[in-house]
Amino acid sequence: MVIEMEFTCIETFCGAGGLGAGLKEAGFKLLWAFDKDEQAVETYKNNVSVKVSVEDAAKLRPETLLGLAGMNKRELFLLSGGPPCQGFSRQKRGGENGDKRNRLIVKYIRMVQGIEPMFFLLENVDTFKKKRGKIYLDLLETGLRNMYEIHVKEINCADYGVPQVRKRTVVVGVRKDLGIAYEFPKPTHTNNWITVGQALRNIPTPPDDGSEYADPCYPNHSVPRVTSINIERISYVPQGSGRKCLPRRLQLPCHKKKTGWPDVYGRMAADKPAPTITGGFDNFTRGRFAHPNHNRPITAREAAVLQSFNINYKFFGNKGQVRQQIGNAVPPLLAKSLGQSIISAMQSAQCQQEETSSQKSFIEVVIGG
């Protein structure tokens, strides 16, 4: 008989709650979460859990975090988090050492060392395991490999039902004394990616005047402000294309060069997953963010759906803050799959231990008899 246990979790750098929402749905009990962003914490509090606080990770001690969660060292099942990743992004100019946010990876390592959870989960951009972030991944492995078996994998969120091509690096650590084997979840949608058209098909059209959609079941659903000339530009771009399709009279000088980002001034394709949703999703000049069927950028509600948030998940803050919360989030569907794989690893280990114990008891009875 498998012993029932609580799958407890403390979430670091929780943001708006994409990771927390997915872990909660997977079966985790969220004991505490924190983030430095006050508006993101408000979003988390109203959608995921009230057990969250505004904290500066650079000043927060592991024992303080354990106290907030009511746990002792080595008792916690999972420490999760996605330290700010913008410093590793392909769109970040300059060296990877020039962004102070990258140093929060080191803080995350120290939290793991101070809390010693059974598992830890870290999510970051795909470049985290490449040139820009490798120095920090190496630091994490060096700092924790004596105590943890560390598993690293690059994952495409579209393979797990997220209607978006979003490649991420995921790190899962398992404390060595537990003797638990871990495997990343197998993809569920490798050959049947969810498309933009499928994801957005039931979302109503927002008002043209930029006001919020009246039904509170669709929060954060308003048309971004767009200039008339950019609306005209959008009208010329077919699905899946970008700036190269603009008439010459509407092209900017930079558009006439062969170099540059081809997806800017682009429109999503209805029959494919969305491109990576960033904090600039409401401005089609920054990427392929125009709606597939309407001459406008996608709304915050539509972006959240493409991130796999529930339709009524409400984000708090001004438009810029909401954009960043959505663009920086871990897709909840990916988080759920990862959470389920961690729970499954523990349950499998428990079953094996129970089976071994039963076999041993049977042998002792036979020999004794």
Q: Which residues are tagged catalytic?
A: 85
Quick one: DSSP state of residue 232?
H
What is the C-alpha radius of gyration for the chain, rounded to an integer number of angstroms?
A: 23
Backbone torsions φ then ψ of 72, nearest 5 degrees: -105, 165
List all residues 6 or more positions away from 321 whose beta carbon is below 8 Å from its beta carbon: 37, 39, 40
Burial of 80: CB neighbours in 10 Å, binned 0-12, 13-18, 19+? buried
Alpha carbon separation from 26 to 9, 61, 86, 328, 335 (Å, rounded): 12, 28, 27, 21, 8
- Collapse the DSSP code of 78 into the 3-class scheme (helix H, G, I; strand E, B; otherwise coil) and give the result: strand
Spatial contact of 330 and 22, defined as CB atoms under 8 Å apart: yes
CA-nearest of 119, 237, 91, 232 to 178 is 119
Spatial contact of 117 and 79, defined as CB atoms under 8 Å apart: yes
Burial of 361: CB neighbours in 10 Å, binned 0-12, 13-18, 19+? exposed
End-to-end CA distance of the chain: 24
CA distance 4 to 13: 29
